[in-house]
Amino acid sequence: MELYDILIVGGGPIGLACALEAKKNQLKYIIIEKGTVANSLYNYPLYMTFFSTADRLEIDEIPFITTKAKPGRQDALEYYQGIARQKEINIRPYEKVLNIEKSTFFQVETSKQIYFAKNVIIATGFYDIPNLMNIPGEDLPKVKHYYTEPYPYAFQNVVVVGSSNSAVDCALEIYRKGGNVTMIVRNREISKSVKYWVKPDVENRIKEGSIKAHFGAELLEIKPNSVIFKTENGETQEIENDFVLAMTGYLPDFEFLKNTGLDLKGECLNPNYNPETMESNIEGIYLAGVVCGGKDTHLWFIENSRIHAKQIINHIVSKP
């Protein structure tokens, strides 16, 4: 039986940071990642630009060098995957963790084999499960919960649901490639969290009528050739439609967390953990990164959760 000091679930930026910290402390570790290295970033829109500057995305004080003021998706993939190569990170990509059980040690069952570890770090992010609208027609092929690039939507009637960064980015990109864009927004304005250099752009396009927007509205039903929504004053409208991009956010895998035995609190299913050590309610299982926020997926991100790696490893090495 090969016994690891630490098994890390998730090979994103924070999982990599934990591995680097473990390596510096001469701990035997392994990362299990269900996709490629930095898989969530790989699934971001192709032309996405980060809100953070490059220095705020650095891990382990390794310089993130780019000529851009704000790095994009490809820059980040080059940086994080480059670290995995150069530092010879012990990672098993395309292997999914199925179950974690605790006896003398943690027994971690994956899609390929069983591992044993003294400690487990869960750094799984939140980009895997779409936050569904649960309305009729959401399962139609024309409905997309992930957006990559605007070209498939040129000259099409496209409804974009939401007003966050992802919704605004795809609305602007599709409009500029010739798509007829209508935004359905529950709130009464574009989200205040939208990137400051993008927010005036979308507001001006809405003001001039290049992008249609219905604020205080709710999508009710999706049909093969149309959508039905309720306006702010309660009226029901139906418009022609070819595609729906539901940019309604994403969620952590709560079933996996519950099955592991983690204590999830309140409506937002916030995991119970010690903020100083990041240890969960189960001794030896630690949480790192976005997963710490439950449904509050905007609470933690790369910039403010890099510190979790040091907190966790410091606690592990201090154990008797």
Which two tokens mark 129?
A: 């499960």
Cβ–Cβ < 8 Å for 49, 72: yes
Same domain, 164 and 109: no
What does DSSP assign to residue 272? P
What domain range is 145 assigned to?
A: 132-246
**CA–CA distances in Å: residue 198 to residues 7, 134, 183:** 40, 29, 16
Q: What is the pLDDT of residue 129?
A: 86
Specify the pLDDT at position 53. 93
Domain end call among 209, 231, 246: 246
Is residue 19 located within the same domain as residue 78? yes
Q: Are both 109 and 147 inside the same structural domain?
A: no
Residues 62 and 103 in one domain: yes
Is residue 19 located within the same domain as residue 163? Answer: no
Beta strands in 186-288 (DSSP E): 212-215, 218-222, 226-230, 236-240, 243-246, 250-251, 264-265, 270-271, 285-287
pLDDT (tens digit, 0 to 9) for every residue of the chain, 320 residues total? 899 999 999 999 999 999 999 999 999 999 999 999 999 999 889 999 998 999 999 999 999 999 988 999 999 999 999 999 999 999 999 999 999 999 999 999 999 999 999 999 999 987 878 999 999 999 999 999 999 999 999 999 999 999 999 999 999 999 999 999 999 999 999 999 899 999 999 999 999 999 999 999 999 999 999 999 999 999 999 999 999 999 998 888 999 999 999 999 999 999 999 999 999 999 999 999 999 999 888 888 899 999 999 999 999 999 87
Helix 165-176 crosses helix 199-208 at what angle (to 10 degrees)? 50
- My answer on whether 288 and 142 are in the same domain is no
Q: What Cα–Cα distance (Å) separates residue 206 from each residue in 141, 174, 188? A: 28, 14, 13
Q: Specify the pLDDT at position 194.
A: 92
Whether residues 104 and 26 share a domain: the answer is yes
How many other C-beta atoms can be found within 10 angstroms of the C-beta atom of residue 156?
16
Please state the domain count of the chain.
2
Q: What is the pLDDT of residue 1?
A: 80
What is the separation of C-alpha 2 from the centre of its chain, rounded to a whole number of angstroms? 32
Domain containing residue 221: CATH number:
3.50.50.60
Tell me: do 55 and 88 sit in the same domain.
Answer: yes
SS3 29: strand
| Domain boundary, last residue among 200, 218, 246 | 246
With 0.75 as the threshold, say if the pTM is over it. Answer: yes
Residue 200 backbone phi and psi in degrees, to 5: -65, -30
Q: How far apart are CA 42 and CA 148, in angstroms?
A: 10
Task: Among 246, 267, 297, give the residue marking a domain's end.
Answer: 246
pLDDT at 151: 97
- Residue found by looking up tokens 């790192």 in the block: 288
